[in-house]
A and B are shown apart, each in its own frame.
Chain A
């Protein structure tokens, strides 16, 4: 009797094993389906394919309110980092040309800028990147679908083409990396009909002309910066503070420089309405927050840079119970990029509490792919990420702002070394360097661990990248003192910094 029971149980176990195997192999079309072909989505899908996973990526660009659309690659490639940096470079060259005369270059008359030439060159480069990504996906055997993806259930994704044709894909795991899009203000008549956003500015065939940039984010300041630099009459309208979340002393230096170099600032004001005049120009009415008085001016273009919203509306997340942050609308994530639904993951700009940066999205995407393929357990480290704001005077930083360091360690718990310096290249053309500055925020005791490093100056991104390695390794002020500078550079001033804010002494660097 006992033997019979044992045999029956063994048979049950064998049957279960077969059922389990059947459900793991051949049940799903793909091992991984990624919705979103931007910095994160592409990195994740290509990495997964390297591990032999069957991967599909869906990318679709809903045209902007003005009708602008673009190819594969996401925000960074098409309407972010890449065109921004190229136009920033165009503007810097304008300043360089002005300096050139002092260096002996014989330039006959005033040098003017042609928007169409710059735009075509930038747009062509972006298109070559779209193509490059397309070839890479094909080469790495990632299935690419130019379709708008949405979730049907935990293992099913629906893809919709522009023409409305539907495709259904099943997947073991689903990754959402749809990023964000610029917000339009909701309560300003004429905002949507007449205004542009960063989705449009880089794809204009004709110059935007006299432009009002509304907003004080890095998007607003970077755009206003290059528009001014190429010679356009540019005004920035700020409601409260500039570069919220960044070190405010540094933010002030950035905007001071922009003002000195020709960008107009209208502070503590909010736009009320935008109307189109018979001339075709746009009339903007705004009110002063303090006095309530109203003002008007005409512009050729109005650029809204008032924040970005996550692309979650059309995904069908609520149907599946994927938890979103009520305030931001972004997807709530675990440290391993998991959502509230077991096999659905998300990362990049769409993730709550995540930096909105390409390098973090790429790295997080690759690590996620490695974990999903069972090749690693390593989680993404979002700490110590260096960034740079590419305003006319660039601002690079890594670590904590002075305010945040004070909040965490107390004013008495930190020591700030700082210096105003003058780039050598500014001397000959007699350029004003009043806002070229750096500060190193350190713990006060012991080896004085560096908590934050801030630098405004030319090539701030290049300078900060090198120091961010030291930061990642736990550099201290002692390490900095032991580091010999490269001469003559701006970066070397970071290795020489020795005046503390606490001392109250003049922090201007004297000649070498």
Chain B
């Protein structure tokens, strides 16, 4: 079982800070709509994808970082000027990406465990 670091952040600034503190490491980031007090996200696709993504985390490479980032409330996400959309160029949630590369899985792609495993294991 590979050793990886899981980091949980809320919002763009926290995300950027977490990344900059881990320069030189292989970083995977999973972006999800905020969870409410009961732990349920406003984004139904995120609710569906999370267990699938978590199910493949045992395949994460040794020494890598997995950042679980809650992007914000629904209204914040819907605004196209939010930093995730503008700067990080995210088009939807959930998004699973390998930071610093064009490799990403967006929305329904995150439902496919074989694609998630492929992202964690292939170059």
Contact = CB atoms under 8 A, between A and B. Distances in A.
Interface string A94-136: 0000000000000000000000000000001101100100110
B115 A138 contact: yes
A412 interface: no
A361 B54 CA distance: 40
A135 B115 contact: yes
Nearest to A127: B102
A327 interface: no
Contacts of A128: 102
Contacts of B109: 135
Interface in B93-123: 101-105, 109, 112, 114-115, 118, 122
Contact of B101 (A127, A135, A138, A139): A127
Contacts, number: 22
A139 B114 CA distance: 9
Interface string A131-168: 10011001100000000000000000000000000000
Give the one of A127, A138, A139 with max B CB within 10 A: A138
A124 B104 CA distance: 13
A174 B32 CA distance: 44
Interface in B76-97: none
B99 to A, nearest CB: 13
Interface residues of B, number: 11
Contacts of A138: 112, 114-115, 118
B90 to A, nearest CB: 14
Given A135-B109, A139-B112, A124 B102 contact: yes
A489 B101 CA distance: 40
A131 B115 CA distance: 11
A177 to B, nearest CB: 22
Contacts of B115: 135, 138-139
Contacts of B101: 127, 131
Contacts of B105: 135
Contacts of B114: 138
Contacts of A139: 112, 115
A138 B115 CA distance: 7
Nearest to A129: B102
A134 B112 CA distance: 14
A118 B105 CA distance: 26
A131 B118 CA distance: 11
A270 B38 CA distance: 76
Contacts of B102: 124-125, 127-128, 131
A131 B97 CA distance: 11
7 contacts: A125-B102, A131-B103, A134-B118, A135-B105, A135-B109, A135-B118, A138-B112
Given A127-B101, A138-B115, A139-B112, 17 more contacts: A124-B102, A125-B102, A127-B102, A127-B103, A128-B102, A131-B101, A131-B102, A131-B103, A134-B118, A134-B122, A135-B109, A135-B115, A135-B118, A138-B112, A138-B114, A138-B118, A139-B115
Interface of A: 124-125, 127-128, 131, 134-135, 138-139
The 4 tightest CB contacts between A and B, nearest first, are A128-B102, A131-B103, A127-B102, A131-B102
